[in-house]
Structure 1
């Protein structure tokens, strides 16, 4: 996408402190109608394989949810590889979520009314690992739900034995568009993750999954990462976690970059409606359509 549309709200930018003395930029989105009350907090974490992307990526999602539910939406940043390798992205995300949980009222939010993380791709990894850590350390206020799209959560070495037979999309989709075996190898060599670390995957937590809040997952059929999401959903359910899942057959990772595609619009609507499910405030397609007519969902 080109430069952002100047007629659209790009959020208020604020720099917040991180553990190493540096700062990170967040974008704060609020509905003009709700400036006088504290609202649930939704934190959006962009994708880009840990090597690209920025906090404008989910601007259209943020604008839509603040006008639909209403909530305060925060698009966050994290430092990127290859300059900042693993686990910097996870640390930046954790520090940002912690800061937001402690300073929410200054942004017009009250996370005890709802505290949701939304992430795509690399951002889905960061949302899942941050939430698992939050649950394991009994941090408060509690994160009340996460919505993750095309998450990268597994590596061959850490797939639980009972699910190995379900985890074959790396091979099946090795030649897919957008994200394929070569692209994954490039990301891995730039990012250099420790695949056994809890900062890489919730599966590496000493006591994973149990006690997680409800999880909404979206996966693409023609994506090497597809089975990470499918296995995660199955494992969560077996640990008593509420889940909601959408699968988009035959489309590649990041297929929303094709705005004319009917399924791209469907996935955007499902993401918005999934946030409502997590908030306990379910909406319909027509509610989203009123705010985002045509293909406007793609506008940064």
Structure 2
């Protein structure tokens, strides 16, 4: 599988290339760098792939990274993390945190200006890791601070850690247990493979000793027929109640993200909102027609 991925990966160029980042145990983790062709240091977007903590790689979000470079003139780094069941919890959040620290230490050679913009984002399981990492960056007083968080259909809760005041609105796991794409059977498989301590701050930002308060502006996308729906809805509410600037985008009756559904009009809106959200998180305005044209020119590989 890894050989097949490498064979289909775009060849390295001066603006798109792979690097290796040493993890705390000495493992060399691949990351994919996408950068503008113009000189100078650029703001940074870090992207984390999805796949239930079992699947995916740092190439998954490259089509979106290229669009971000094209439209926003930012550098994008797609980090990797080791996946289950070979690498159980907390390997994934540790890998991402080690990657963030490495980027911070090597910002100058990467030609990124974190003070000008430092956004972290992820989809599904990658959304979990993006939220956990951003909360940890706040808890650890990382400087320069993360300035924005984007979460696509994030997985941030399990029933054991849902705060009491939100329990009555946490029912999408059962309501959408037979949803197409991602269902309860798949969730059970992912949970067994990942084997997380769900009460650890490395699993959920809700487990931080001081959750939510002071988090950067956060944009969250939620699908209405997704078992993970209420994770995103509750997280946005918890952030907003702590004074965090948020934006919630909901796509009614749409299941969890899978390529088979991408031709649905709602998913076209989903793609548009990804890029529009990133622009806002970097304090930029991109014309709607420019976003639509960029999307028309690009393939999609986003998955769960």
State the TM-score, normalizing by the size of structure 1.
0.94
Instruction: Please list every run of 5 or more consecutive structure 1 residues that lacks an aligned counterpart in the other structure.
Output: none
Quote how far apart the aligned CAs of 1:299 are. 5.5
Q: CA deviation at 1:135?
A: 0.2
Equivalent position of 1:237 in the other structure = 240
Aligned length: 297
Tell me how large the CA RMSD over aligned residues is: 1.9
Question: 8 Å contact 1:265–1:297 — kept in the other structure?
Answer: no
Alignment of 1:1-300 (within 5 A): 4=8, 11-32=16-37, 34=38, 36-293=39-296, 296-298=298-300
Q: Is the 8 A contact 1:121 1:150 kept in 2?
A: yes
Q: Is contact 1:233-1:245 (8 Å) kept?
A: yes
Give unpaired runs (5+ residues) of structure 2.
Answer: none
Out of 280-289 and 203-212, give the one that drifted further: 280-289
Q: Aligned with 2:106: secondary structure?
A: helix
- Rounded Cα–Cα distance in structure 2 between residues aligned with 1:82 and 1:6: 28
Is the CA contact 1:273–1:284 (under 8 Å) kept in the aligned structure 2? no
Find the aligned partners of 2:36 and 2:137 in 1 and give their Cα distance.
28
Q: Secondary structure in 2 aligned to 1:266?
A: helix
Q: Distance in 2 between matches of 1:245 and 1:282?
A: 18
Change (3 A) 1:234 1:99: same
TM-score scaled by length of structure 2: 0.93
State the shift of 1:105 in Å.
1.8
CA distance change for structure 1 residues 276 and 256 in 2, over 3 Å: closer, same or farther? farther
Q: Is contact 1:150–1:218 with CA below 8 Å preserved after alignment?
A: yes
8 A Cα contact 1:214 1:243, kept in partner: yes
